[in-house]
Structure 1
Amino acid sequence: MSKIKLFCLPHAGGSAAIYYKWKKYIDSNIEVTPLELAGRGRRISESFYESILSAVDGMYNTIKPIIRDCDYAFYGHSMGTIIAFELCRKIMDTNERQPLHLFVSGRYPPSIKRAERYLSRLPDNMFLEEICKLGGTSDELIKNKELCDIFVPILKADYRIIEEYKYIDCDKKFNYGITVFNGKADPEVFYNEVKEWEKHTLLQCPIYEFEGDHFFINDKIPEIAEIINSTIDCIISKSTY
């Protein structure tokens, strides 16, 4: 039996590397498969995406030949959650094999409308001040001009496509479950909002809250991995009967 692929999508400014340490916590029958976005990591020489949907198209073309032959699930954090969600919607409209599950963290569902602040339009110093409020940004990076010169353009490009993203409503719901992870001290995401992820699935939508801010996932990898492992194991067990 081939391994189940867990396609992982990073937060704004993040690369595939943030998920490499997950591999030692995820069950051996699940293959952690981080997806690298353009403009960072091994794809740093490529142009940034013009929109969330162009990122979705790029990721879809990457995974399309893979998902035909294996079971798989998605995990996305923050911006990665939006991309994972839209990937699921794109796949839902095709004849491709559907995912087993969608895991989301650090983001309310796209169907919730908020007035955007357009942080990407701020001067770099003001932009970084706002980003630091979320947590997860080291003092070393903030004080290092060379690192900032690399990191800020990536982060701003990601924020721009998030801010310009427009959710298109539809009546279709996923015929697989959604699991939600949330940081109790996240200044941008609240429990009453993440609860609305349940509106996008026909199945269960459990919510797990953890101590920590927007980047709680950095400190809670073993706990998150345990939930992912047990969720996928339960899905596979039910499908064999």
Structure 2
Amino acid sequence: MTSVEVTSKWLPFKTQSGSGLPLFCLPHAGGGASAFRTWLGQVPGVAVLPVQPPGREARFREPPHQHMEPLVTALADLVLGEAGDRPYAVYGHSLGALVAFELVREIRRQNAPLPTRLIVSGCSAPGHPFDDGPPVTGMTRPQLVRMLRDLGGTPEWLLADESFVDMILPAVQADFSVKETYEYRPEPPLDIPLTVLASTEDPRASHDAQSRWRQQTTKEFDLHTLVGGHFEVFEQSTITHKYLAQALHLP
């Protein structure tokens, strides 16, 4: 497979991303690149690049990653190859935030160019206790569907569709395996600015737990608060886009 074909699998909306600063967007557990599709062209000066991990949407036949290390290794190759010598930024929501954090640390370990900023949302700060409830990897199908319903972000008509549930559950289980097998290892804080978009009523990440991300950077730290739940960055996308433009110092 050529590098162009590999890139097109990981970045399926690249041709629609527009011009500007590349912003690699990593989705939540079970989510795919289409979660960010409505963001394309909505942040002036930014080329939004939704990332498509294997095991979902057009890549649903590929085995999904179940552990953090091989996932961020593959992502580092993708990001560095796509960015080249251009400045770039990284954003992640929920599990994607944790993956984005470890991705940047992997890039640092490779002594490669770091992003201009890391932006995260919907995730407790690494290294701090969090309570996600019972392990998802051991849940039954009804329990998994109930969890997705309680978390929000997935329309009820889709959760009632047996074929849709069959398609997404392997990725959901694999993604939660990435999180539940993840072990935080202390390293020096990142020498890049960090922005957090926290929600007031997020059942997966309290506002306080998200504010502790400030310990992961030696540079500028910004915390913005949205009123609502776990997927508020998507439900209030206009506000999210404004914060993204501010974080990336765009007019």
Task: With the length of structure 2 as denominator, give the TM-score of the two structures.
Answer: 0.87
Which residue pairs with 2:239 in the alignment? 223
Which amino acid counterpart does residue 207 of structure 1 have in structure 2?
L
User: 2:89 aligns to what SS in structure 1?
Assistant: strand
Contact 1:68/1:96 (<8 A) preserved: no
Which residue pairs with 2:215 in the alignment? 199
Which residue pairs with 1:9 in the alignment? 26
Contact 1:175/1:202 (<8 A) preserved: yes
Which residue pairs with 1:45 in the alignment? 61
Specify every segment of 5 or more residues in structure 2 that has no aligned partner in the other structure, as ranges: 1-18
1:8 shift after superposition: 0.3
Which residue pairs with 1:82 in the alignment? 98
Contact 2:60/2:167 (<8 A) preserved: no
1:173 to 189, 206, 212: 189
Which amino acid counterpart does residue 24 of structure 1 have in structure 2?
G
Which residue pairs with 1:144 in the alignment? 161
Which residue pairs with 2:16 in the alignment? none
Which residue pairs with 1:130 in the alignment? 147
Which residue pairs with 2:83 in the alignment? 67
Which amino acid counterpart does residue 97 of structure 1 have in structure 2?
P
Most deviating of 105-114 and 68-77: 105-114
User: 1:31 aligns to what SS in structure 2?
Assistant: strand
Contact 2:199/2:227 (<8 A) preserved: yes
Which residue pairs with 1:24 in the alignment? 41
Q: Equivalent pairs: percent with the same residue?
A: 26
Q: Does 1:36 align with 2:30?
A: no
2:129 to 94, 113, 120: 113
User: 1:5 aligns to what SS in structure 2?
Assistant: strand
Which amino acid counterpart does residue 155 of structure 1 have in structure 2?
V
Deviations along 1:52-98, whole A, 9 cap, x unmatched?
Answer: 12111111121222233211001100010011000110111223111
Task: With the length of structure 1 as denominator, give the TM-score of the two structures.
Answer: 0.91
Contact 2:54/2:64 (<8 A) preserved: yes
1:224 shift after superposition: 1.0
Counterparts of 2:177 and 2:246, CA distance in 1: 36
1:115 shift after superposition: 5.9
Counterparts of 1:8 and 1:155, CA distance in 2: 18
Which residue pairs with 2:8 in the alignment? none
1:93 to 63, 88, 109: 109
1:203 shift after superposition: 1.4
Most deviating of 192-201 and 115-124: 115-124
Counterparts of 2:50 and 2:124, CA distance in 1: 22
Contact 2:90/2:119 (<8 A) preserved: yes
Which amino acid counterpart does residue 205 of structure 1 have in structure 2?
F
Q: CA RMSD in A?
A: 1.7
Q: Does 1:156 align with 2:168?
A: no
Specify every segment of 5 or more residues in structure 1 that has no aligned partner in the other structure, as ranges: none
